[in-house]
Amino acid sequence: MSNKKTFSRKFLLILFAISCFLGNAQVLRKRTTLLMGGRFDITIVAQDSLTAENSIDEIIAEITRIENLISDWKPTSQVSEVNQNAGIRPVKVDKEVFELAQRALHFSEITNGAFDISFAAMDRIWKFDGSMTEMPSAEAIKKSVEKVGYKNIILDSTQSTIFLKLKGMKIGFGALGEGYATNKCRDLMLAKGITSGIVNASGDMTVWGRQPNGKEWKIGMTNPFHTDEVFAVVPLKEGAVTTSGSYEKFVVLNGKRYSHIINPSTGYPSTGLCSVSVFGPNAETANGFSTSIMVLGKEAGLNLIKKYPDYSCIMITDNGKILKSKNFKKTKLHLKN
């Protein structure tokens, strides 16, 4: 796993949208801002410009609220308080923070630790800036994850507390938290009668409704080995798409490509896959799957996703081959290769 603050992601997803006034008087407004350590592109379709702009303001306020609760980079957040008291005492947190931690631990269980929010305590011994010329020692790799382990995260539902058993442990929700935030923003807008929009967190998108012209939103996908062409176009009316990948951050040692996404249970980088995009109804869940599949690899990843028929994925291997889960036949996927 990896925290978005430690790497930059090249967008593999392109949003095809039309920003214009149409006969039904709906308008589309878009704004880009930096939140939760990354770029957010917010698109709202409304009856007038003022409503659209006010709605974007509300989305930014909601994401900021969530960031102040769960960011492990903000010393005053509840998650930072949990980390500061690792090995000392349980920390009482808000219900939504506790339930987010519960869902994260569920992902750890179903992936046998391929997903683990305690990755935040991992030593950064792998370098992906071009300076690394040899593998770290097995001893150093083992030591790098000695404070990582979801089984040492203790949740008390009665008291709504989180306790990290080992001193030096840390948790961080990373992109999972961003997925949660985009889901919350969609629900907030729907409750207010805003029936169409997109919240795009650094390429991870939650989409609802349609474009002002009545057509579905369309997501274009590019292959990092051929960035000048779109290999698939996926129409989306409701749902989410998230991508995890190593298209910019990786190292090649002894002819083998190592991703910046580290297996939290072993300390070794993931190999075999360059990117994983997951489609489904919930951005938080999709993000958990895309991260996990990068770590699990092709076979184990496909075996995992087939257990959840509401979700499907496209993988790109280290040699540029495009693979898709079998349940993708249920979607309107237009592969161009």
| Model pLDDT for residues 129-144, shown as the tens digit of each residue | 889 989 999 999 999 9
The pTM (predicted TM-score) of the whole model is: 0.89
Burial 85-101 (b: 16+ CB within 10 A, else e): ebeeebbebeeebbebb
Q: Is residue 38 pLDDT above 90, yes or no?
A: yes
Q: Is residue 337 pLDDT above 50, yes or no?
A: no
Residue keyed to tokens 């790098």: 144
Give, rounded to a whole angstrom, the gap between the first and last alpha carbons of the chain: 30
Q: Is residue 283 pLDDT above 60, yes or no?
A: yes
pLDDT in tens, 107-135: 999 999 999 999 999 998 998 888 998 99
Which pLDDT value is given to residue 23?
43
Give the Cα separation of 189 and 196 in Å (integer): 8
**Angle ∠(121,185,261) on CA atoms, nearest 5:** 30
Give the Cα separation of 126 and 134 in Å (integer): 10
- Give me the domains of the chain, ranges plus CATH numbers: 4-69+193-335 (3.10.520.10), 78-174 (1.10.3980.10)
Q: Is residue 271 pLDDT above 60, yes or no?
A: yes
- State mean pLDDT over 2-10: 41
Which pLDDT value is given to residue 16?
55
Which residue would you say has higher pLDDT here, 296 or 24? 296
Which positions ≥6 away from 286 have C-beta within 8 Å? 179, 204, 240, 241, 242, 278, 279, 280, 311
199 near 185, Cβ under 8 Å? Answer: yes
Instruction: State how far the alpha carbon of 3 is from the alpha carbons of 41, 86, 267, 291, in Å.
Output: 19, 19, 15, 11
> Residue 222's pLDDT band (boundaries 50, 70, 90)?
confident
**How large a percentage of the chain has pLDDT more than 90?**
72
Among 219, 222, 250, 260, residue whose Cα is nearest residue 237: 219
Which residue would you say has higher pLDDT here, 127 or 97? 97
Which pLDDT value is given to residue 32?
97
> Residue 256's pLDDT band (boundaries 50, 70, 90)?
confident
Q: Is residue 71 pLDDT above 50, yes or no?
A: yes
